[in-house]
């Protein structure tokens, strides 16, 4: 299990107003907590408890092998869109057919809310695609090993996170402040992962 993918993507906010209360909808906790007493360790405990149901949902719905990074990316995605939406998604259907390369592209289709494209979702999908791209293809135990084809530099798992990353950077340049810089850093790292994969494939092709 890969720790907490949500913690890597979502910003942790602990400070709240004295009159504001957080109603915890988790079935496991069933309690009401004042935000001012929600310290980091407690917040992490709540997040990890909440994530378990999404981890189980991903484990149950995905039939192919996943690396820790791929599993973490899917848990983050499932957490964000909901279990039912994840179970009915084209992303899951393609993945269960062994189409690992389609995942980054399918992630980019989930950047709208209320018919509008939201920057926050664009950044989140870019971070998830970057996390997914850290892992190479993981074949099923039941799949025969075939001779590898020559590397193709325009494969989906490289193009999708790069396109999303550069798009996100362009939007961030319109704003300013520490939050924008943090998000920009995440997006740059995601694009760097894609560039590293390209360099690796070039080396493999020359060998």
Domain housing 78: 5-9+21-139+151-206
Q: Residues 94-103: pLDDT tens digits? A: 999 999 999 9
Q: Does a structural domain hold residue 129?
A: yes
Choose between 178 and 163: higher pLDDT. Answer: 178
Residue 163 domain flag: yes
CATH number of residue 77's parent domain:
1.10.530.40
Residue in 3, 140, 127 with CA at minimum distance from that of residue 73 = 127
Mean pLDDT of 164-191: 58
pLDDT at residue 104, rounded to an integer: 94
Rounded Cα gap, residues 193 and 131, in angstroms? 9
Residue 73: inside a domain, yes or no? yes
SS3 77: helix
Q: Scan for tokens 């869109």, then name that residue.
A: 81
How much is the average pLDDT of 141-170? 47
Residue 170 within any structural domain of the chain: yes
pLDDT digits (tens, 9 = 90+) for 53-66: 999 999 999 999 99
Distance CA 155, CA 106 (A): 14
Report the Cα 21 to chain-centroid distance in Å: 29
Residue 91 has pLDDT above 60, yes or no: yes
Mean pLDDT within 21-44: 52
Per-residue pLDDT at 45: 72
Is the pLDDT at 51 greater than 80, yes or no? yes
In a domain, 144, yes or no: no
Instruction: Examine residue 145 and state whether it is found in any structural domain, yes or no.
Output: no
Q: Is residue 14 part of a domain?
A: no
- The pLDDT-based confidence of 138 (bands split at 50, 70, 90) is very low
Domain count across the chain? 1
pLDDT number for residue 166:
54
pLDDT (mean) for 163-188: 57
Residue 16 covered by a domain: no
């Amino acid at each position: 299990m890969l720790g907490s993918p949500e913690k890597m993507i979502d910003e942790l906010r602990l400070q709240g107003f004295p009159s504001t209360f957080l109603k915890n909808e988790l079935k496991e906790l069933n309690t009401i907590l004042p935000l001012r007493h929600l310290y980091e360790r407690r917040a992490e405990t709540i997040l990890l408890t909440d994530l378990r149901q999404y981890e189980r949902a991903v484990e149950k719905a995905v039939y192919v092998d996943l690396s820790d990074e791929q599993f973490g990316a899917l848990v983050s995605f499932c957490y964000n869109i909901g279990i039912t939406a994840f179970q009915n998604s084209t992303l899951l259907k393609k993945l269960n057919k062994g189409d690992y390369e389609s995942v980054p592209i399918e992630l980019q289709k989930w950047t709208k809310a209320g018919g509008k494209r939201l920057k926050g979702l664009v950044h989140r999908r870019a971070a998830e695609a970057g996390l997914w791209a850290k892992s190479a293809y993981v074949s099923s135990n039941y799949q025969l090993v075939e001779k590898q084809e020559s590397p193709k530099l325009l494969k989906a798992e490289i193009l999708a996170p790069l396109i999303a990353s550069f798009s996100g950077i362009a939007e961030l340049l319109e704003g300013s402040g520490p939050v924008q810089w943090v998000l920009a850093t995440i997006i740059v790292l995601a694009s760097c992962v894609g560039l590293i994969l390209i360099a690796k494939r070039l080396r493999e092709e020359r060998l």
